Structure 1
Amino acid sequence: MHSEDCSIGENSSSHLEKGEQSNATSSYFATYHEGSIQVPIPCAVMNVVIIMILIIALISLSVGKYNCPDPLSDTPVSQCSNDWIQYQMKCYFISSMKDTWTMAQRFCSKHKATLVVIDSEEEMIFLKQYVDKMKYWIGLKNETSQTWKWSNSNEFSNWFNMTKPETCPFLNSTDVSSADCQKPLHWICNKPSSS
């Protein structure tokens, strides 16, 4: 089809108005109606096809928008493994098994994590909703009866109180207490969510 095939000519329109329709143009143009513009049939079909393609493309793009996460969204996509829970910039593993403090720390290490280091009261509140009345080892320890240290080697700043300050603390739904490190308890691991 040539570019002149899709042109609307005044000659063809004026000839049709006068009723001088030739055999060559009668099959090429649609039937003329008073007050309408005459467009060659192949051009009209091509225009409809292009418009349909654009409509389908717009619908596909708008549907795809809802299937992809919005990078500016307030709810980030979790970067944690399946059995881990994301909160702020950390991933947490809440165990259903029980073991000693040392074995719990080994489990966490195998998953490139440590026993949980609790940095704020907000984080403590978040964790308490998962522990119920059970006891969970946390990553705080006092091996030399001097300075309490987290499993990441940072010193504990005493921002929360511990009842019964023995060697290995645990978290339950009401407070942080401690017990003999050889006692089998559940545990909580944590690691940065980007790892």
Structure 2
Amino acid sequence: MFFLMILITTLATILAVEKHKSSAERVSCLDGWIGYLGKCFYFSESTRTWTASQNFCASHAATLAVFNTTKELDFLKRYSDHSQYWIGLSREAGQSWKWIDGTIYSGWFQVIGIGECAYLHKTGIRGSSTRLVRKWICSKSDICIPRS
């Protein structure tokens, strides 16, 4: 009888822990976003200007894509296919490139061309006019959110 009570108590505890685990289960990125190296990335299907793209990202608690490693750049290039995507790199006329988060661009990759805003394509990063429309990539920190 004592053994049976211990068995029942143990099973009840295991079930309670499993139930708590499933209700506390977390996902890193929202549906439609792709997680990579601690960040969530969103690749748009439609096109907008650089500013309108940044406004879209901001409405999702994100910015146009900011990245600082070759691994991240290679990842983004793989997903860009043959499209052109706005990223969070811009500059004032005659000034240095800056990331949307205010960080000065360190020059670890080449930005080809002129223009105030940068976009990513399969082979690299180019500068362009803000008036043109392109797809865009948003990025934000990979924070745990409750699964709904």
**TM-score class, shorter:** 0.7 to 0.9
Unmatched runs of 5 consecutive residues or more in structure 2 = none
1:129 CA displacement: 1.5
SS of the equivalent of 1:54 reads: helix
Cα contact 1:131–1:172 (8 A) shared by 2: yes
After superposition, where does 1:15-164 map in structure 2 within 5 Å? 50-51=3-4, 54=7, 61=14, 78-164=27-113
1:160 CA displacement: 0.1
1:61 CA displacement: 3.9
Q: 1-side partners of 2:122 and 2:42: how far apart?
A: 17
Larger radius of gyration: 1
Q: RMSD of the TM alignment (CA)?
A: 2.9
Tell which has more relative contact order, 1 or 2 (C-alpha 8 A, sep 6+). 2
Q: 1-side partners of 2:140 and 2:92: how far apart?
A: 23
Q: 2-side partners of 1:160 and 1:57: how far apart?
A: 58
More strand by share: 2
Q: Normalised by the size of structure 2, how large is the TM-score? A: 0.80
Q: 1-side partners of 2:73 and 2:114: how far apart?
A: 18
Q: 2-side partners of 1:93 and 1:49: how far apart?
A: 57
SS of the equivalent of 1:166 reads: coil
More helix by share: 1
1:90 CA displacement: 1.2
Structure 2 equivalent of residue 19 of structure 1: none
| Letter matched to residue 125 of structure 2 | V
1:52 CA displacement: 9.2
**Aligned pairs, how many?**
142
- The percentage of counterpart residues that share the same residue type is 36
SS of the equivalent of 1:137 reads: strand
Q: 2-side partners of 1:78 and 1:85: how far apart?
A: 11
Cα contact 1:78–1:86 (8 A) shared by 2: no
